[in-house]
Homo-oligomer: A and B are copies of this chain.
């Protein structure tokens, strides 16, 4: 990452074109369908569509489902799809085979691993997280507490927004489980997974990492860092389509003594024996619950082929370079002096997005979208920009910042049509 620690000379269109010309990932853009005249800086909310995704969906419907019907479970290996997809995601996470499975939503998978982890920690009742963690992570803990009782399961939140070290200090032997998202959905701050996991383990604390904003965006080493459990999202950097199935990682050293409560038939050791008593499947299959979502999972399976011939190191390099260029271009624009970057600039401390505070962040975001730059707003005042190396160009950085500067200069964002309303992302 040190390649990015020097200040680039003033970025010009020519420089950006040169960066594109020498970009080893440049050809990847051709593997996606992208709308015309759009710079898409929201791949951290919903990844763009790989061309193979549409082809695969069509194949699953018109060739498999419609023609082979129920026989497809065997003939087209539908039944293995949760494993097939899991094993395609595993290398992106630094996970050896047999530890990642594709199923359900991130929220539902959180419930499974939270339950497992709590049942492994008798005598400890506290689940520690950050107050700024993505809400569904916190809500799922609260849901589990509603079943287990507050005396057995309490969510403990640390507000480390002003004091980044507060989190580490809160990791004590009183904690049962540390639940963290690797990259903060608002600020883009990247936590040190290796260090925090080691600190937790030193206190007998189990760790669950939510990789929603990091899987497919940066190298992760779940095995090497001794992570216990992880979950993540198929529709952001993995480009699996809206509401794509999620994934779940459980370290193989835990597999034999886990009890996850969503014990559906697909997690049974012999689902087609139709016995009355649940006997969990060996290995990662024990995390399956209902019938797998074949159409959606097939689309994700196809989308993952985009990663087959690239390294996460190259992805990470370009992600940091794109965002570095973007921010340097912002700094070159006097019109943009009112934007306050809240993302740490050091490469080791940020994910694949930049977040700027501005009192008019919502209106700025709407004005950008109107001009074809798809950004994201996060309440109350954050303009969030995601950098997806597989389909963004360096030239896009120049154009996006130029448009943003023009919107600011012209006060275009003050138009009444950009006034605040609820937005869905």
- Point out residues on A near B: beta carbons under 8 Å: 33-35, 38, 40, 42, 45-46, 48-49, 53-54, 57-58, 60-62, 65-74, 78-79, 104-108, 111, 115, 119, 131, 134-136, 138-140, 142-144, 146-148, 157, 186, 235, 241-246, 259-268, 271-278, 289-297, 299, 369, 374, 376, 378-379, 422-425
Please give, as numbers and ranges, the residues of chain B lying within 8 Å of A278 by CB-CB distance: 135, 138-139, 142-143
Check if A291 sits within 8 Å of B67, measured CB to CB: no
Q: Which residue of B has the minimal Cβ distance to A45?
A: B70
CA–CA, A45 to B78, complex, Å?
14
Check if A295 sits within 8 Å of B241, measured CB to CB: yes
Check if B146 sits within 8 Å of A148, measured CB to CB: no
15 A-B pairs with C-beta separation under 8 A: A35-B66, A35-B68, A49-B65, A54-B58, A70-B376, A73-B424, A78-B424, A105-B293, A108-B262, A135-B265, A139-B265, A143-B263, A146-B263, A244-B295, A295-B295
Candidate in A45, A115, A289, A295 with the most chain B CB atoms within 10 angstroms = A295
Given contacts A66-B33, A74-B423, A265-B107, contact A291 B57 (CB under 8 A): no
CA–CA, A295 to B143, complex, Å?
27
Q: Which residue of B has the minimal Cβ distance to A145?
A: B261
Check if B108 sits within 8 Å of A108, measured CB to CB: yes
Please give, as numbers and ranges, the residues of chain B lying within 8 Å of A138 by CB-CB distance: 276-278
CA–CA, A61 to B34, complex, Å?
12
Check if B374 sits within 8 Å of A242, measured CB to CB: no
> Distance (Å) between the CB of A88 and the closest chain B CB?
18
> Distance (Å) between the CB of A46 and the closest chain B CB?
5
Please give, as numbers and ranges, the residues of chain B lying within 8 Å of A263 by CB-CB distance: 139-140, 142-143, 146
Candidate in A34, A67, A186, A268 with the most chain B CB atoms within 10 angstroms = A67
Check if B46 sits within 8 Å of A70, measured CB to CB: yes
> Distance (Å) between the CB of A370 and the closest chain B CB?
11
Check if B54 sits within 8 Å of A42, measured CB to CB: no
Please give, as numbers and ranges, the residues of chain B lying within 8 Å of A425 by CB-CB distance: 70, 73, 272
Given contacts A263-B140, A424-B74, contact A292 B147 (CB under 8 A): no
CA–CA, A73 to B235, complex, Å?
13
> Distance (Å) between the CB of A300 and the closest chain B CB?
10
Given contacts A61-B49, A276-B135, contact A146 B295 (CB under 8 A): no
CA–CA, A108 to B246, complex, Å?
14
Please give, as numbers and ranges, the residues of chain B lying within 8 Å of A143 by CB-CB distance: 260-264, 278
Given contacts A268-B139, A290-B106, contact A242 B78 (CB under 8 A): yes
Please give, as numbers and ranges, the residues of chain B lying within 8 Å of A268 by CB-CB distance: 135, 139
Check if B299 sits within 8 Å of A242, measured CB to CB: no
Please give, as numbers and ranges, the residues of chain B lying within 8 Å of A108 by CB-CB distance: 104, 108, 262, 264, 289-290
Candidate in A42, A61, A68 with the most chain B CB atoms within 10 angstroms = A61
